[in-house]
Structure 1
């Protein structure tokens, strides 16, 4: 007992010393949280705590209370825990959504199946069966999740098969990865956040129409001219302010900071002066509406 207490004191002293010296000994908790979510499909928090020697309170803090960082030792212990009972069946909704999201990028079911099979040591993984079923094994769901994370970071092919995959995804209005970033993709009741999906045209940053990869303005341009070459979509009025406020909120950029406001303006394809003028009109309109509302109350 005395030895264990001495070890705890030593560990606490090291942590305090590192903090005093400004040494960042903690790491981002995203990977740990994702792994815990995977483990929770087949294991209880008590099982995870026993396998990792991490307290249940710490595990709940990471899972539910938004803890952003963990110690490297904690990360290593939790990541070392492998899912048990991989044959246990789980809901296939999240896995199907991941495959659909990859299809919107141009990844075919055949390519996804090959990569999943390679990880499992098999010759083939039947993606069609996954898309048609309501349940699948936890181990297969985990492998698809890993492949999803890998392919989301890669540039998809541009061959005919990829174009067909994209067209099929658009016809069925499948949501791309961006629509699931802030939403629990494994929750059957969750809905994709289409407001987070932006037009693919590099000079545009408007939200897309559900089931499309371009915004309404770019779609009209494509229908009329058949191409977006030479098109420079202008953002004015309320749409400009809405997009600027969306970027500011979701990317943590301040419209009050000159450099960050300039970045927002570049994203929107307008000058800093145009954005500043639009914000002034927006503020004036808000002030006028507030005065009218107060006058009506009186």
Structure 2
């Protein structure tokens, strides 16, 4: 069981909740100054991407997933690997480059052959169900039998190939309405009702609070006032105001650009709703 301290005036958490009291604004300014000092001292030093890109690309073509490559490289952000493969960045942080160039891909096991904890796979299938995606549709799009996906929802371990296929399919469908892809309304309604009956959180919950692959992460909203998504949104906007591109901000914060885009859009929608 996790314990949390209540948000108090004089903390940056309070400022992020919208408080404009002087002590809360001062706490936010102190944080920004410390952040700026760290940037000055450590420097946004970048190195040539090509050596790391060539290595990551070769591993990916051998059948290793982005998640396996990230784990082999010492657990660096999967978003960094995704950005490298997508070609959305031209340079790389030295620490990330060293981790990739010094990695042993053998440490990640054979492509698709190992057994993994099923927590992340189960939660992804459940989250898709919460948005209306029936299990059989997800299985078809992931290129597997319906029984394989059904077993993953109730099992404790899955093959790596299953976990990676579900993770990739989840990334594609998490923010897609199933009705717009040919799934009948009565099917999506029944699937959402099934998910609600089991109390399964949707993809937005996991974006806000993180930990979808962590068995210890709670599956209900923690009793804290500031979510991970809110903090990352605030930090990303601060980095942009200080000259970083959104791609650079995403890499520095260890997330993907699409995650930041979506979080900023949702934050704007919340502000409009609160102002209405």
TM-score range with shorter-chain normalisation? 0.3 to 0.5
- The higher radius of gyration belongs to 1
The answer to which structure, 1 or 2, has the higher relative contact order (CA under 8 A, 6+ apart) is: 2
TM-score by length of 1: 0.45
